[in-house]
Structure 1
């Protein structure tokens, strides 16, 4: 007996079937999209901070659940599909099994090819002659969009399918759209659990159940399913091996920070970003930065790729740079001295922080400190060098010191008193002595030597006013070994060289830099 292709012959019956069918479809669509729609509006703060989902990987999905079926036949019996004990064709429970392979282009987008196979037992199959098999198979192609990249992520998908299976005739291959939705719960870097629902709208109307009607379609759905999604290739997240940078930096000075990550193993692209703790940021695994204000800053480095992220930080203290060391003045007192006599070196230095002094006297000897004393044993001209340094910088200065031979008795001077030599050259050996000088050793300080007697007298008068009291200032006229007549201004005499040297050192600020000692008879 041929199967009737039109089931609805009367308008009242036709309207009732249409309402039942529409209600079935709306219920399926509502169940399918309800879970995805609800989860899309749920905020899960605790999971949004998790590592982002991997992309650029192939995956596989395998699951199962409860099947659902809506068609012309099922609309005849309102008890469909779960009336309990009424299945007369197709034994077994209403179950569905799903498999899919695909590619995750990004954390949000994926494309998959899958197969849904299910048992759709319907009590009205006997009314359509020739149908005894309730299993149908639905290959499909789907595009999937995931709303969030945290641990719990809702998704929806849309694609096309073909449905086949059952007895032939009267069933045949049908096709149509496939719509689904659910949530994906991440279990780890390579696996996740999903819960979903789906409907497959199939045309023509008689392809699945063998019963046709006007403007009808059948639905082979997955009422509720659960499964496991596994990535075939596991992405490698970044791992920070070391973050290098200075612990203390001067303000307004560019410094470099370097991060070492597992570049050879981590998936690309690999993004790197610095946060310097002062509102400024930079990208790349090497960055330079300067801090405008003093303070303690936490410099953070973060590396990200499609598999996850990693971060590390170091503490940096920014300080005002110290004022660099600078030598204002440096001198030797006296600058001309007899061999064996002490010379005091002095320096006026500016600069913050601890200042380090290093003296090199030119004869191989060295000293530290701001005001060392040194004795030259050999006559000659020496270049004494001073180096002062601190954290801000270094400064250098050179001082010339003239060292003469030790003084001898003066045998060519006039009877007027001591006969000093010319202070404008290396101190000569005295050539005269005073007729009235006592036989014991005496010393004087020569502060000037000039050819004009009037000039020497004026100098002596000025120094007498400057040195009142026991210190005598005299003008002594004598001839040098070369026969030149000189008028020398001499402070003294002193009973020993130590007394003369003490006056020369203590009154160095009041004496000319060329003053020197002379032994007198």
Structure 2
């Protein structure tokens, strides 16, 4: 029994040594562990061989040879085992396998047992295996159940029991690895293997040390990028979507997607949205990765400044009203992307292409000047009304003056042509605002009082329109005659609105 325990201890010690070596490899090679990943979700096959070991009642009959070649009979063949297994790898750590261990156990004392001359035994088994870590060198342990059969009949019979093993798996590539392992198969009843029920309650058919190859029977499918979709050009500050089409149905999962937009920004997923802050040409890269490999593709995109159609900020004509034959200064300002083109049509058939042209109207009347600004991104238009009066001192009939005064007092707007000064007793004012509420007109009048120097006076005057609506006009004056009013209108053009007009006061 002492020899039996020695053999058993030595067998278990050998298996423990193998596991210890595996653990040391896993600790001493952290870089390999970090850089590689074990395949999963696939079928595999294992094939190997090694040295056999047998521990039973019979092997203890030769205490001088508790372990080693001396306990095996000479001429009956070498003590070896062969191992085959197929299984499924559920994850990088867990697998389930079905296999068989066949071996020659030529114990020297077999001839002393009547009827036993065959030293081969066969052990089918089912195992669950756990691999520690996911690196290039990974130790593992497994546990399962087995049945052992073989030998002459009588007296041997089928036995069963637990199977315990462990070893180290060394990755050779994407689809293959080398393993080194040790295994112990405990078999009951005791006489199932050696035909002897004396001494111990079980027999051991072990694999002292074995080596083999593990191959993937179903290779993982790497990702493949079918196409990338995205714009060729886009406006800065505008979000756009990029999308990738990948062989998701065929490629092994999990799949990892990564976008690099070329400006330091990244994103994940099969689709991604991004906006560029600065103009330029950018290379958008996409990668798809799984345990079988990595696929990459890229596309170029140009970010451009957004279109800036022009918008007219100001458009005016001074003086207004203007005298026939006198120069009228037009001015305009516009925003938008350069270059901006200006085109004025003055309403009398003349035109000019400048932001601030000068034009002279020869005939009194009301003219609508139209401004159009344009650039490559669009255009904008605005109109300016210009009232042109007869020059001061021109002959005007009293009927025409009365008609103009009547039109103005109605409150519908300024007269088309202010009348000439026909009487020293007539008083005129300059209307700078017209409002329906007196409370709105009062602060406007106050601002003009503060803006205009003495002796110019500013007051609010009320009047009825032709439709019975009360209007409150902010009026500068009074002035003795239209000449004096027009002179102030010209001199103070920068302080007065472009739509100011002359009004005969009661």
In structure 1, what is the equivalent of residue 494 of structure 2? 509
In the TM superposition, what is the alpha-carbon distance from 1:155 to its structure 2 partner?
1.7
Q: Could you tell me which runs of 5 or more consecutive residues in structure 1 were left unpaired when the two chains were aligned.
A: 1-13, 415-420, 428-445, 460-465, 467-485, 494-503, 517-521
Structure 1 distance, partners of 2:101, 2:288, is: 41
Is 1:175 aligned to 2:160, yes or no? yes
SS of residue matched to 1:130: coil
Any idea what the Cα deviations from partners look like across 1:381-433, whole Å, max 9, x if unmatched? Answer: 2442446899xxx996733244879x99997369xxxxxx9995556xxxxxx
CA contact (8 A) 2:260 2:266 kept: yes
Structure 1 distance, partners of 2:263, 2:283, is: 9
Quick one: which of 269, 281, 285 aligns to 2:270?
285
Change (3 A) 1:492 1:254: closer
Is 1:266 aligned to 2:251, yes or no? yes
**Which shifted more, 128-137 or 80-89?**
80-89
CA contact (8 A) 1:159 1:179 kept: yes
In structure 2, what is the equivalent of residue 344 of structure 1? 330
Any idea what the Cα deviations from partners look like across 1:159-194, whole Å, max 9, x if unmatched? Answer: 111111122222221111111222223333322222
Q: After the TM superposition, which residues 369-388 of structure 1 pair with which residues of structure 2 at under 5 Å, given as runs?
A: 371=356, 380-386=367-373
Quick one: which of 18, 39, 54 aligns to 1:69?
54
Q: After the TM superposition, which residues 121-520 of structure 1 pair with which residues of structure 2 at under 5 Å, given as runs?
A: 121-239=106-224, 242=228, 256-272=241-257, 283-288=268-273, 303-308=288-293, 328-333=313-318, 344-347=330-333, 357-359=340-342, 361=344, 371=356, 380-386=367-373, 398-402=382-386, 412=395, 424-426=414-416, 487-489=481-483, 509=494, 513=498
In the TM superposition, what is the alpha-carbon distance from 1:450 to its structure 2 partner?
7.6
Quick one: which of 88, 110, 114 aligns to 2:74?
88
SS of residue matched to 1:132: coil
CA contact (8 A) 2:26 2:33 kept: no
Structure 2 distance, partners of 1:32, 1:79, is: 24
Structure 2 distance, partners of 1:413, 1:326, is: 42
Structure 2 distance, partners of 1:206, 1:33, is: 31
In the TM superposition, what is the alpha-carbon distance from 1:322 to its structure 2 partner?
12
Change (3 A) 1:103 1:413: same
**Which shifted more, 192-201 or 40-49?**
40-49
Structure 2 distance, partners of 1:305, 1:411, is: 94
**Which shifted more, 310-319 or 145-154?**
310-319
Change (3 A) 1:254 1:450: farther
Is 1:59 aligned to 2:53, yes or no? no
Any idea what the Cα deviations from partners look like across 1:354-384, whole Å, max 9, x if unmatched? Answer: 6553545468999988656789999952442
Any idea what the Cα deviations from partners look like across 1:423-473, whole Å, max 9, x if unmatched? Answer: 95556xxxxxxxxxxxxxxxxxx9x968885676787xxxxxx9xxxxxxx
CA contact (8 A) 2:428 2:485 kept: no
CA contact (8 A) 1:21 1:70 kept: yes
TM-score normalised to structure 2 length = 0.64
Structure 1 distance, partners of 2:153, 2:174, is: 46
CA contact (8 A) 1:335 1:400 kept: no
In structure 1, what is the equivalent of residue 438 of structure 2? none
Q: How many residues align?
A: 430
Change (3 A) 1:455 1:268: farther
CA contact (8 A) 2:312 2:332 kept: no
Is 1:79 aligned to 2:72, yes or no? no
CA contact (8 A) 1:17 1:72 kept: no
CA contact (8 A) 1:335 1:513 kept: yes
Structure 1 distance, partners of 2:166, 2:248, is: 37
SS of residue matched to 1:34: helix
In the TM superposition, what is the alpha-carbon distance from 1:142 to its structure 2 partner?
0.8
Any idea what the Cα deviations from partners look like across 1:462-520, whole Å, max 9, x if unmatched? Answer: xxxx9xxxxxxxxxxxxxxxxxxx95338999xxxxxxxxxx8x99636763699xxxx
Q: Could you tell me which runs of 5 or more consecutive residues in structure 2 were left unpaired when the two chains were aligned.
A: 398-403, 409-413, 431-451, 453-479, 502-506
CA contact (8 A) 1:357 1:370 kept: no
Structure 2 distance, partners of 1:230, 1:374, is: 94
TM-score normalised to structure 1 length = 0.63
Any idea what the Cα deviations from partners look like across 1:54-96, whole Å, max 9, x if unmatched? Answer: 32212212222222222222233343553369623622x2222
Change (3 A) 1:316 1:178: farther
Is 1:102 aligned to 2:87, yes or no? yes
